[in-house]
Amino acid sequence: MPDVSTPPAPNPVRGRLNSAFFALTAGYTDRRLAVHKRRLFDRPGVVAEIGAGNGPNLRYLPAGTAVHAVEPNPYFHRRLRRTAAGHGIDLTVHPVPGEAIDLDDASVDTVICTWVLCTVRDPAQVLREVHRILRPGGRFAFIEHVAAPGGAVRRTQRLVRRPWRWTFEGCHTDRDTAAAIPAVGFASVDITEFRFRSGFVPVRTQIAGTAVR
Ligand SMILES: C[S@@+](CC[C@H](N)C(=O)[O-])C[C@H]1O[C@@H](n2cnc3c(N)ncnc32)[C@H](O)[C@@H]1O
């Protein structure tokens, strides 16, 4: 069993390239995800964001929001801090993995994550941590790409699985995240499936939703 509290050191070349890639494509992805993000990140209170990356979600939060960004990859931190400053977010960066979050039990109102449960080493452990740090009645809001039910998208996900995982530092094209989220004991879970219409076929099947502790 790997020790998930000490993840492998991020690769300095791929780490920088990934941060640059997500910065370059942020406008493109945002146009497709904005409708979900506006709905999901409403009235957030104190926020923890798992795998905050360059901070593409911060623009959806009111200026002055306290955000604890759980981001173990240091190659994202510079852009993340810059984005937070640009949107008036009160940011604290936690350079730890989502599997071992250094926040107290029931200490945040909202946890958000987008395109992260595909990449973490142990999604069930991250979800247990999300549940632990949320206050009772607090909300977990997420957008994730998931395994397609079948057909050409599923075949493409299988075909590119290995190079995709290498390039995007651990990203799995075909996790069943919609089943993993209800399994940790939230009071209620609401999940919508949608298509991410773009040239990135392996991530076409996506889910957006909320889970209440
Ligand atoms: C595909 S990027 C998504 C970044 C951002 N959420 C977005 O929507 O653009 C995946 C993110 O998950 C982070 N990540 C990888 N493993 C993680 C872990 N174990 N815990 C928390 N974040 C992790 C990566 O460093 C990266 O920032």
Question: Which residues have C-beta within 8 Å of that of residue 97, sequence separation ≥ 6?
Answer: 4, 5, 7, 70, 72, 120, 121, 126
Chain mean pLDDT for the chain: 94
Residue 1 has a pLDDT of: 46
Indicate if the pLDDT at residue 133 is higher than 60: yes
Which atom of ligand 1 approaches the CA of 171 most closely?
Answer: 1
Residue 3 has a pLDDT of: 62
What's the CATH number for 12-212? 3.40.50.150
Ligand 1: residue whose CA is nearest its atom 24: 51
- pLDDT tens, position by position, 57-88: 999 999 999 999 999 999 999 999 999 999 99
**Considering Cα of 199, then 20, then 34, then 151, what sign does the dihedral take?**
positive
Ligand 1: residue whose CA is nearest its atom 3: 115
Which atom of ligand 1 approaches the CA of 26 most closely?
Answer: 9
50: Cα within 13 Å, side-chain hemisphere: 34
Question: pLDDT tier at 13 (50, 70, 90 boundaries)?
Answer: confident
Domain segments of the chain as ranges: 12-212
Indicate if the pLDDT at residue 96 is higher than 90: yes
Indicate if the pLDDT at residue 4 is higher than 80: no
With H, G, I as helix, E, B as strand and everything else as coil, classify residue 61.
coil
Residue 5 has a pLDDT of: 60
Q: 145 C-alpha vs ligand 1 centroid, how far in Å?
A: 13
- How far apart CA 169 and CA 162 sit, in angstroms, is 11
The mean per-residue pLDDT over the stretch 22-42 comes to 94
The mean per-residue pLDDT over the stretch 10-26 comes to 89
Whether ligand 1 lies within 6 angstroms of the CB of 119 is answered as: yes
Count CB-CB contacts under 10 A for residue 58: 25
Whether ligand 1 lies within 6 angstroms of the CB of 117 is answered as: no
**Ligand 1 mutation pick, 119, 144, 145, 171, max ligand atoms within 8 A of CB:** 119
Q: Which two tokens stand for residue 181?
A: 């989220």
Question: pLDDT tier at 158 (50, 70, 90 boundaries)?
Answer: very high
Whether ligand 1 lies within 6 angstroms of the CB of 120 is answered as: yes
Indicate if the pLDDT at residue 157 is higher than 80: yes
Q: 73 C-alpha vs ligand 1 centroid, how far in Å?
A: 8
- pLDDT tens, position by position, 140-156: 999 999 999 999 999 99
Percent of the chain with pLDDT over 90: 88
The total number of residues written for the chain in this structure? 213
- Give all strands of the β-sheet with 108-114 in edge-to-edge order: 90-94, 66-70, 47-50, 108-114, 134-145, 205-212, 188-195
Whether ligand 1 lies within 6 angstroms of the CB of 73 is answered as: yes
The mean per-residue pLDDT over the stretch 115-125 comes to 97
Question: pLDDT tier at 6 (50, 70, 90 boundaries)?
Answer: low
Ligand 1: residue whose CA is nearest its atom 1: 115
Whether ligand 1 lies within 6 angstroms of the CB of 144 is answered as: no
- How far apart CA 75 and CA 53 sit, in angstroms, is 9
Q: 113 C-alpha vs ligand 1 centroid, how far in Å?
A: 8
Listed in order, strand segments (DSSP E) in 29-76 are: 47-50, 66-70
